[in-house]
Amino acid sequence: MMIRTLNKHNPKYELDYSRSVDVYRNLHKNCYSIKQDGLVKAHAQKLSLEQCTFHVNKKGRDRVRKTKRKEVHAWVRGKLSTLTIPPLWYKQIFYNPYKTDHFMHRVETGAMSATLSPITKTESVSLIPEGIYKS
C-alpha cells in the first residue's frame, strides 16, 4: 500500500490510521482519494480497507443522472489495512450511477448462475486500478 500524503509539512493533513477514512475514485488524477475530517489527505493507486461500509448520496446520484456530469457522490468508508492485492477468489464490487442505485456485487445462486445484489458493508476490500474487490 503506497499512500501519498498531500502536505507532509502540515499536521492537519496527517492520516490517523486508528480512525476511519472515506475513499472514492478520483477520475481526474486516476487514483483513489482518501478523505478524513472532511479533507482529502492522500492519494493511492492501491489500498485496502477493513470494517467497510458503502455510501451513495442520493441527491448527488440524482444530479449526476440529470446533468450527465460526474461528481463525487459515492464512497467506501473503513479503516486502512495492509492487504492490497485481492486473491483470485475475491468478488468484484461496482457502482454505476446510470445503472444502479447502490454499490453491487455478484451473489452465486448455483453452479453456473449468479445475481447482482446491493452491498452495504463487508469485512474488507481491496481497491486497485481494476476496481474494488471483497473477500
pLDDT, one tens digit per residue, over 12-39 is 999 999 999 999 999 999 999 999 999 9
Q: Is 111 left (phi over 0), alpha (psi -120 to 50) or beta?
A: alpha
Mean pLDDT of 99-110: 87
pTM of the model: 0.89
User: Which residues pair with residue 21 across a beta bridge?
Assistant: 78
What 3-state DSSP class applies to 67?
A: helix
Question: In sequence order, which residues have a C-beta less than 8 Å from that of residue 115 and are 6 or more positions away?
Answer: 106, 107, 109
Q: What is the pLDDT of residue 84?
A: 66
Cα separation of 69 and 27, whole Å?
12
Q: What is the pLDDT of residue 9?
A: 87
Please tell me which residue, 67 or 6, carries the higher pLDDT value: 67
pLDDT tops 80 at residue 1: no
The alpha carbon of residue 97 and the mean position of all alpha carbons in its chain are separated, in whole angstroms, by: 14
